[in-house]
Amino acid sequence: QLKVPQIKSAIGNSNFIRGGNRFEVLGFDACLMSTIEVQSTLASFGNYFVGSEETEPGHGWSYTPIVKALQEGSATNGEVLGRVIADAFKAQATEQESQNITLSVTNLSRIPAVVTALEALVGAIKSSGKTGIESLQKARASAEEYSKTIKHPEQSEDVVDLGDLMKQLKKADPNLGSQADAVLAAVNN
């Protein structure tokens, strides 16, 4: 099992990256990869990121449309290729009646602003002491969570939707509203 720092090291030490290049798309046909932790760690290596917030169904991505788009030259940049990947994944999941799928295409140039907004929020939470931490805990308990199973609901990968977490935090502590709004704006951007 690869860890994110190992992935960062492998990509960062490649001749391609060391030669001053960037990937158009960094894509992960794997579960639970579309997180701010993964994206911020790898943002300097690519323009777009494709990954799932949730566990992926066993069929994974549908590669035929991806290869076809590359062969035809219709996938002219990372955003277009990312959309091809996501649309093909959704079509295959619909055909195979897979439930609860997620796959996102993220512009990696926007990730540093999300990280900056999160850091400001964490600073505000620290400054508010116990109240801020309790508000964050309450918001976390209410936020949309990924990788929960019916068989083992007590197990968690501790992956939540960042936007929903901010909305829940605003409800839990209106004093953190402006910082949470800044994170939401950065995520929406």
Q: What is the mean pLDDT of the segment spanning 131-139?
A: 95
Task: Tell me the C-alpha distance between 23 and 139, whole Å.
Answer: 36
Q: Is the pLDDT score of 85 beyond 60?
A: yes
How far is Cα 140 from Cα 149, in angstroms, rounded to an integer? 18
What pLDDT is recorded for position 159?
86
Phi/psi at 179 (5° precision): -70, -40
Under 8 Å CB-to-CB from 38, ≥6 apart: which residues? 4, 28, 49, 51
Q: In 3D, which of 92, 84, 14 has the Cα closest to residue 48?
A: 84
**Higher-confidence position of 143 and 153:** 143
How far, in Å, CA of 176 to CA of 133, rounded? 11
CA angle 87, 47, 113 (to 5 degrees): 105
Does the predicted TM-score (pTM) go above 0.85? yes
Which residue, 113, 90, 107, is CA-closest to 49? 107
| Token pair in block for residue 120 | 């400001």
HSE-up of residue 35 (Cα within 13 Å, Cβ side): 17
Q: Is the pLDDT of residue 156 over 70?
A: no
Q: How many helices (H) and strands (E) does the chain have?
A: 9, 5
Average pLDDT estimate for 71-84: 95
Residue carrying the six token digits 């900056």? 116
Local confidence band at 149 (pLDDT 50, 70, 90 cut-offs)? low
